[in-house]
Amino acid sequence: MFFLYSAYARSYQWILRVLARFVSYPEHRLLEGEGSSLRLVGELSSRGYVRPLFVLSDSVHRSGADAPLLDGLKEKGIEPTLYVLPSGEPGFDTANACYLEMKRANCDAIVAIGGGSAMDVAKSAGVIFAYKGKDIASFRGLLKVHRKLPFMAFVPTTAGTGSEITPVAVLSLPHGEGKVAIMSPRLTPSLAVLDPVYLKSLPERPAVYGILDALTHALESFLNRPKDSQVARDAIAATRTILEKGRLFAQNRNDLSLNLEMLKASYLAGRAFARGYVGYSHALSHAIGGRYHLPHGYLNAVLLPYVLRAYGSKAYPALARLEEAIGGSNDLSMAKKAEAFIARVNSLERDLHIDQKLPLPSFGEEAASSLAHEAAKEANPLYHVPKILSEEELALILKSAVTSV
C-alpha cells in the first residue's frame, strides 16, 4: 500500500513542477552591506510610503539597534507605527494583533526587523490586511493567497531563516498542536536588506542555531528532486560558506565582512528552498517545536544527520556531489563521498556544541507516533524528498534522535 502512496506522491509533485512554470513571483530586490538598512529611508520615501508598520523583535527594539533607522524616517516626515513582537512562538493571535495595529494606524507598508518570527508575523499580517481581516487560519497550506500584499521590506537580524526571500510564513497552532505553513509566491518580500551591523549583538547560541537552520535549508533543497540549476548553485554556495566559516562566525560577530557572508549564505539557502522545498528535518522540527517549544534551528541541527542517513542510497548522488563541490576527494566511491559529507556536518555540529540527541520530557511510543503523523502530514506529498518516508520510518528517526527525560 505504501508503494501506491509513494506513486501518488511522485505524481502530485510532478504536477506541481508543471504548474510552477506558470507561477510568477513578485518583484524582489536586495540591498546589502554595512549601513544598508539606513537606505530604507530613501526606499520608502521614493515610493511615497508615509505610514509604515515596523514589526520588531523585542531584543532588537530593547537594544536600540533600530533607533538610527527610525530617527532617519522621522526626519523625512515618515511616521512609523511600531509593533514589538511578544515573547514566545508566534501564532494566529499574534498575527491578528499585528494586523489590527496596522489597520488602526492605516499603514501603507510593512518593515520587519528581526528573526524568522518577526518576518513570519509581518507576512501573516500582510495577508490579513490584503483580505480585509479574513481569518489567517484559512490560508494555511499551499497557494491560497492570491491578492497582492503591501510593500514589505525585511531586515534579518539572524543568519538563518532566509525568510527575507522565501514565500512562506510559519505560525504555531494553539495548545502545542504543532506548526502550520502558509505558502504562496505572494508572500515573497519586496525588498531584503542584509545589514551586518544587526548581527553584532546576536548571542552565540542563536547565531549557531541560525546558521545550522540555513545549512538545513541548503541541504534539503539540494537533495530534493529534481532541482533547477539556480537552486543547485545557491545551495552549494550557502553550504560551502557555512561549513568553511560557521565556526568563526559562532566565535565572533564583530567582523562585519564575515557577518555579511553569513547573511548572504542564509539568503541563498532561503532562495534555494523557496524553489526547491525543504524535507523531513523541517517537518519533524515543526512538529516537535510546536509541542515542546524548542528553537527551530536547534531541532534542525540535531535531526539533520539522522534524516540524511534515513534517505540511504537515494541521497548518495546529491551528497557525493556536495562533497566534491566543497573540495572532497574524487577518489572515493559515491557512498564513501556521501558518508564523508555527513561526517563534515557532524563535525561542524560537534564543534558548535550541538548534542546528538534531543532531550524531551516523557517521550515514548505514543509521542513518537503522533509527532511522526504530524510530520508526515506536512511533508507528504508536498516535499520533493529523495525518498518518501512512511510515518513508521519517521517514528524510527525520532526514537533514534530523542532521549526521554
Q: Is residue 73 assigned to a domain?
A: yes
Considering the domain architecture, whether residues 99 and 120 belong to the same structural domain is answered as yes
Cell of 122: 509581518
Q: How far is CA 275 from CA 166, 219, 348, in A?
A: 9, 13, 26
Work out the pLDDT band at 89, boundaries 50, 70, 90. confident
* pLDDT at residue 26, as a whole number: 84
Cell of 63: 537594544
Mean pLDDT, rounded, for 44-59 = 96
Cell of 11: 505524481
Strand pairing partners for 154?
112, 192
The model's pLDDT over 222-235, given as tens digits with 9 standing for 90+, comes to 999 877 899 999 99
Rounded to an integer, what distance in angstroms lies between the CA atom of residue 281 and that of residue 235?
Answer: 16
Q: Is the pLDDT of residue 363 over 80?
A: yes
Considering the domain architecture, whether residues 149 and 193 belong to the same structural domain is answered as yes
Rounded to an integer, what distance in angstroms lies between the CA atom of residue 400 and that of residue 290?
Answer: 20
- Looking at the chain, the whole-number percentage of residues with pLDDT higher than 70 is 100
CA angle in degrees (0–180, nearest 5) for 169-173-177: 130
β-pairing verdict for 81-84 and 141-142? unpaired
What is the domain range of residue 376? 203-404
Please measure the distance between the N-terminal and C-terminal CA atoms of the chain and give it in whole angstroms. 36
Q: Is the pLDDT of residue 176 over 80?
A: no
The model's pLDDT over 232-261, given as tens digits with 9 standing for 90+, comes to 999 999 999 999 999 999 999 999 999 999
Mean pLDDT, rounded, for 197-201 = 95
Work out the pLDDT band at 153, boundaries 50, 70, 90. very high
Rounded to an integer, what distance in angstroms lies between the CA atom of residue 207 and that of residue 82?
Answer: 25
Considering the domain architecture, whether residues 191 and 257 belong to the same structural domain is answered as no
- The CATH code of the domain that includes 289 is 1.20.1090.10
Q: Are 66 and 84 in contact (CB under 8 A)?
A: no
Considering the domain architecture, whether residues 164 and 257 belong to the same structural domain is answered as no
Q: Is the pLDDT of residue 405 over 90?
A: no
Q: Is residue 118 assigned to a domain?
A: yes
Give CA torsion, residues 106, 111, 113, 115, to 10 deg: 100
Q: Is the pLDDT of residue 148 over 80?
A: yes
Q: Are 394 and 376 in contact (CB under 8 A)?
A: yes
The model's pLDDT over 272-317, given as tens digits with 9 standing for 90+, comes to 999 999 999 999 999 999 899 899 999 999 999 999 999 999 999 9
Question: Which residue among 199, 226, 246 closes a domain?
Answer: 199
* Spatial strand order in the sheet of 179-183: 141-142, 179-183, 168-172
Give, for 307, the enclosing helix (H) or strand (E).
helix 296-310
Rounded to an integer, what distance in angstroms lies between the CA atom of residue 189 and that of residue 27?
Answer: 8
